[in-house]
Amino acid sequence: MGKNANPAGRLAGKAALITGGASGIGEATCRLLAREGARVAVADVDEKGGEQVAARIRREGGQAVFIKADVGKAAQVKRMIEGTAKAFGRLDIIHNNAIWFRHGAAVELEEKDWDGTLDVGLKSIYLAAKYGIPVMRRSGGGAIINTASVHSLVGFATSTAYDAAKAGILGLTRVLAIDYGPDIRVNAVLPGAILTPLWDNLKVPPKVRRQYARMVPAKRMGRPEDIAYAVLYLASDESSFVTGTTLVVDGGMLARTD
C-alpha cells in the first residue's frame, strides 16, 4: 500500500469504523480506507495491535484513532460508535469484521463457545446497526459492510457455530438493507481462504496452505488486501446501486464442483 493518504481519494471527507482492525483483513482495510482519504477508527480488543495500526496510518499521512471494544457487548459497541463520532464528527462507513470462534461438532461444542462465536460474529452486527445507523443518518447516510465467508454458503465439518454465524450474516445484511435504505446501504463480503495471522495462531502447516492454494482457480491463497479492495468498493459511491447483496472474494473456490 502507498505511504500517503489521498485527500482527493474515493473516501475523502468520510469517517470509517473497522472492527477487528488490529490485524489481518481489518488492518489491511483500515490502511486502504485511510489511504483513500477516510478518517479511520480502528476497533479491537487487542489494544497493542490496534494502537500500532492507528499509529502506522498516522505515520503514512492519514487520520486514525484506536478504540478498544469487545463487539459482543452492547455497552462497548455503543461506546465505540460514540467514540468514532466524537473523534471525527460523523460516521459514514462501518466495516463489521471482528470474529472470535471455537470449532466443534454440535455434541462436543460447549455452550459458552457457541455463545461467544455468535456474540462476536453475528450479534455484534446487529448492535453496530442499532447504535450506528442513527449516527450515520445524521451525517446523511452511509455504507455498512459485513465480513461473512464462503462458510455462509457451504458447510465445513465441525464449524457448527462459525458456519451458523456466517450464514446468519447474510440474512441480517438483507434485512438491514431493506429496513434502512436508501440512505444506508448494507452489503456482505465473503472471503475464501485468506492468509492472515490467524493461520499462524492455529498452527496451520505449510502443506495444508499449499493444498488450499491448489484447490482454487487463482492457484494462491488470498491476501488481506484482496478483501480490503472489495470493502473499498462497497464503501465508496461507486457501489451506490449495490445493497442487500454479497460479494464473494474466494479465488474461485465456490466455482469448483469436486
Query: Is 180 tagged catalytic?
Result: no
In a domain, 224, yes or no: yes
Residue 38: which of 65, 6, 69, 60 has the closest Cα? 6
Based on the structure, what is the number of domains in the chain? 1
In a domain, 10, yes or no: no
In a domain, 4, yes or no: no
Residue 251: which of 233, 231, 227, 235 has the closest Cα? 227
Set of cell numbers at residue 61: 499521512
Query: 198-237 pLDDT, tens per residue?
Result: 777 767 788 888 887 888 999 999 999 999 999 999 999 9
* Active-site annotation holder among 131, 162, 180, 212: 162
2 pLDDT higher than 70: no
Total count of residues recorded for the chain: 258
pTM above 0.75, yes or no: yes
pLDDT at 202: 67
CATH number at residue 42: 3.40.50.720
Range of the structural domain that residue 30 is part of = 15-250
- Can you say how many angstroms the Cα of residue 145 is from the centroid of all Cα atoms in its chain? 7
